[in-house]
Amino acid sequence: MSRTLRESGEHCYRPPVTTIIRRALLAIFLVAAVVLGAAACGSSDDAGGDPIKSAGVLRVGTEGVYAPFSYHDPATGELVGYDVDVAKAVGEKLGVRVEFVETPWDSMFAALEANRFDVVANQVTINAERQAKYDLSQPYTVGEGVIVTRANDDSIKSLADVKGKTAAENATSNWSEVARNAGARVEAVEGFTQAITLLNQGRVDVVINDSIAVYAYLAETGDKSVKISGTVGEKSEQGFAARKDSGMLPELDGALGELRADGTLTEISKKYLKADATGAPASTPIRSAGVLRVGTEGTYSPFSYHDPATGELTGYDVDVAKAVGEKLGVPVEFVETPWDSIFAALEANRFDVVANEVTITPERQAKYDLSRPYSVGEGVIVTRADDDSITSLADLKGKTTAQSTTSNWAQVARDAGANVEAVEGFAQAITLLNQGRIDATVNDSIAVYAYLAETGDQSVKIAAETGERSEQGFAARKDSGLLPELDGALDELRASGTLTEISQRYLKTDATGTAAGAQQSGEDPQDVPQVRSAWQLVLDNLWPLAKAALTMTIPLTIISFVIGLVIALGVALARLSSNVVLSNVARFYISIIRGTPLLVQLFIVFFALPEFGVKIDPFPAAVIAFSLNVGGYAAEIIRSAIQSIPKGQWEAAETIGLNYVGALRRIILPQAARVAVPPLSNTLISLVKDTSLASTILVTELLRQAQIIAAPTFEFFALYGTAAVYYWVICLALSFGQNRLEHRLERYVAR
């Protein structure tokens, strides 16, 4: 009864010490307001990239009379069916509710165009005519056209035999056109059920529909009076239909791809159709999803970094991932994530694969799906050029090395007896080595040769090899089903020489493993990129850093502080309540917030909640964590401020007839505000600085932007110092604002 079948019915949807300072501050705030307003608009526009999630609801048009795809359960009257359950599952994947609008098939597309609903889920057959007029999702059912006749009619065995016969078809289905083209007279009906009824009554000779619908009908009814006499040789695919250029396809296709990959589609199909009619090989989940989401650092030159000239994400691993996506015919979306949390983000389904020089090890193979390697190197020990005390791996014993805690090289250094200092990546390790804070760093020869070629750094050297060969590839979740597609694409890229070309571009050598003993190749000194002075680098990046502060750091601070104050007021009043339960709940909340690190709270909201099906985007996750944190600390400030007001004020309020709420609003809180402003202002200023922690959960705020710029240039002092100046200016402005507010409150209370 597929739509093809039905297609037979296609249902186939944010101190004034002097006058000059005052005016300057006013100008600053006005500019900030304008930029923030633009940022808010930008955010709104961005939301347009996920229209379904932005709306919070998916409105689905369906017939409700087209069993087993869309019908009412006779026992409960509930709307059920294959298409109905698929739409519900898509809504669940997207985190939105689904509203069904039951509509007759013949007026389904008119209602869609009139914006009565967003998509049609009613076995809508995918064909060229519809694709020209509507956005059609990837198919969730696949079948073929069949010819249905009465059981005792042997005159029709092929499509050619339909000539001159009478067929019952829905006028807007593709099957009516098939019947007409075969020479049949077509009687218009509303759907497959009517068509079968007319066939059984002898009023028509034949019905052409999708095999899925027909087989489901026969399995449900056991009708022996009709039979499948032949096929029409046409494959039919059914999916959702939406208005043209609605922007919904990426979300719909992404959700369908996940449902296909986890087996939900097959389960629904077998429930209603007694067979797997989803038609999509389980071996192609990337193509099915229609997108490859890639996690990468963005601060790990030359593998994953931002081009200093253009700001574009680039690098060896980035280009390999893009080439794989091109081979598979899907767009690639990059999610920049700090290395130490990249696997947690992978497991939380923030992306599909990691492309960040992931070394293939037995431990990782036991936990993740690892592709064939696309870079091959060997472990090397890097020391300062004037240090001759380390000439082998054994010489690391008792020395201090800098390694990323989750890299395999950290374990190599530990096994050799070294003391390991944790860093976020190779760039930080080299910086510590040059500063004399550590003795060595162990890493892959590819990264080291690329660093030396890029920077010409003569202050460090390769002192020894570790004797370990390293292979790097993509990492995906265990049993993700992505490996066949990833490995196939990598094989093609290797055979065509594309991998070697990308390697030569970024690493100055063939590090793909196709050439044995890949070594640093000679290069013309002219090819070495010109290095900008630290001063020029700072000047070039003043606006990118300011933009990050204005569009991320400041909005994140304001939104979180406002929400946190609302929470704090409620919690403070609960703490003061005579209700023991309410007071203890508030006390427990404050204890949890003040007793756990803010970074842990951030990680719980962003990385841990997805294990329970709650997946929150980076910025909202940061807002939630910061708001809850502010609420816990500010609650005690507000409680103390309220308790500092003499009890006589309460009594005076009662004397003039004010109730509890009125006394709070008109008498107590205005006086308490004066007491609370200084400590609350300190909380706000601390929050500005705490927002830098949001960089650990993918929010590209001020610090993260400085990291991105510093990664390929290694100018850490200049760029981090500039970021520090921005933070200081913001906090200075807030301090001026605090002074003004205190003066205003003093005048108000004096009255």
pLDDT in tens, 214-224: 877 887 787 88
What is the per-residue pLDDT for 13? 37
Cα–Cα nearest to 460, from 472, 477, 447, 479: 447
- Answer whether 140-237 and 282-513 agree in fold: yes
Sign of CA dihedral 614, 617, 622, 623: negative
What is the average pLDDT across 56-74?
Answer: 91
Q: DSSP states of 180-236 as a string? A: HHTT-EEEEESSHHHHHHHHHTTS-SBEEEEHHHHHHHHHHH---SEEEEEEEEEEE
What is the average pLDDT across 75-88?
Answer: 94
Whole-model pTM over 0.85: no
Token duo for residue 486? 């990833």
pLDDT at residue 585 tops 90: yes
121 and 256 in contact (C-beta within 8 Å)?
Answer: no
Mean pLDDT of the chain, nearest integer = 83
Query: Which residues have a Cβ under 8 Å from the Cβ of 748 and sit 6 or more positions away?
Result: 670
pLDDT in tens, 587-605: 999 999 999 999 999 989 9
More confident residue, 554 or 467: 554
What is the per-residue pLDDT for 39? 37
pLDDT in tens, 625-636: 999 999 999 999
What is the average pLDDT across 600-614?
Answer: 85
At residue 245 the predicted structure's pLDDT band, cuts being 50, 70 and 90, is confident
At residue 292 the predicted structure's pLDDT band, cuts being 50, 70 and 90, is very high
Helix, strand, coil shares of the chain, percent, nearest 5, are 55, 20, 25
- Establish how many alpha carbons lie within 13 A of residue 654's alpha carbon, considering only the half-sphere containing its beta carbon: 6
Token duo for residue 348? 């939380």
pLDDT at residue 2 tops 70: no
Residue 206 backbone phi and psi in degrees, to 5: -155, 155
* Percent of the chain residues past pLDDT 70, beyond the cut: 87
What is the per-residue pLDDT for 7? 40
Query: Which residues have a Cβ under 8 Å from the Cβ of 467 and sit 6 or more positions away?
Result: 378, 379, 393
The highest-confidence range among 27-41, 185-199, 552-566, by mean pLDDT, is 552-566
What is the per-residue pLDDT for 707? 76
409 and 444 in contact (C-beta within 8 Å)?
Answer: yes
Token duo for residue 201? 């009554």
- For 360, 611, 615, 626, the CA distances from 348, given in Å and listed in that order, are 21, 7, 8, 21
pLDDT in tens, 149-208: 999 998 998 888 999 999 998 876 778 888 898 999 998 887 788 889 889 888 899 999
At residue 1 the predicted structure's pLDDT band, cuts being 50, 70 and 90, is very low
pLDDT in tens, 530-540: 556 778 878 88
697 and 618 in contact (C-beta within 8 Å)?
Answer: yes
pLDDT in tens, 717-749: 888 899 999 999 999 999 998 888 877 766 655
Interior angle at CA 744, CA 743 and CA 745, nearest 5 = 90
More confident residue, 487 or 34: 487
Encode burial over 331-355: b for 16+ CB neighbours within 10 A, e otherwise: ebebbbbbbbbbbbbbebebbbbbb
CATH T-level fold of 282-513: D-Maltodextrin-Binding Protein; domain 2 (3.40.190)
* Percent of the chain residues past pLDDT 90, beyond the cut: 38
At residue 714 the predicted structure's pLDDT band, cuts being 50, 70 and 90, is low
505 and 443 in contact (C-beta within 8 Å)?
Answer: no
Token duo for residue 705? 């932007």
Strands 57-62 and 97-102, how do they pair? parallel
Encode burial over 561-580: b for 16+ CB neighbours within 10 A, e otherwise: bebbbebbbebbbbbeeeee
Residue extents of the structural domains in the chain: 140-237, 282-513, 534-746
What is the per-residue pLDDT for 359? 86
What is the per-residue pLDDT for 489? 86
At residue 100 the predicted structure's pLDDT band, cuts being 50, 70 and 90, is very high
572 and 642 in contact (C-beta within 8 Å)?
Answer: yes
What is the per-residue pLDDT for 42? 38
Q: Which CATH architecture has domain 534-746?
A: Orthogonal Bundle (1.10)
- Please return the burial class of 457, using the count of CB atoms within 10 Å of its CB with bins 0-12, 13-18 and 19+: middle
More confident residue, 18 or 70: 70
Question: How many whole angstroms separate alpha carbon 62 and alpha carbon 104?
Answer: 8
What is the average pLDDT across 24-47?
Answer: 41
What is the per-residue pLDDT for 272? 86
576 and 642 in contact (C-beta within 8 Å)?
Answer: yes
What is the per-residue pLDDT for 514? 58
Question: How many whole angstroms separate alpha carbon 262 and alpha carbon 277?
Answer: 15
Residue 226 backbone phi and psi in degrees, to 5: -130, 160
Sign of CA dihedral 213, 216, 218, 220: negative
Sign of CA dihedral 733, 738, 741, 743: negative
At residue 273 the predicted structure's pLDDT band, cuts being 50, 70 and 90, is confident
Q: Which CATH architecture has domain 140-237?
A: 3-Layer(aba) Sandwich (3.40)
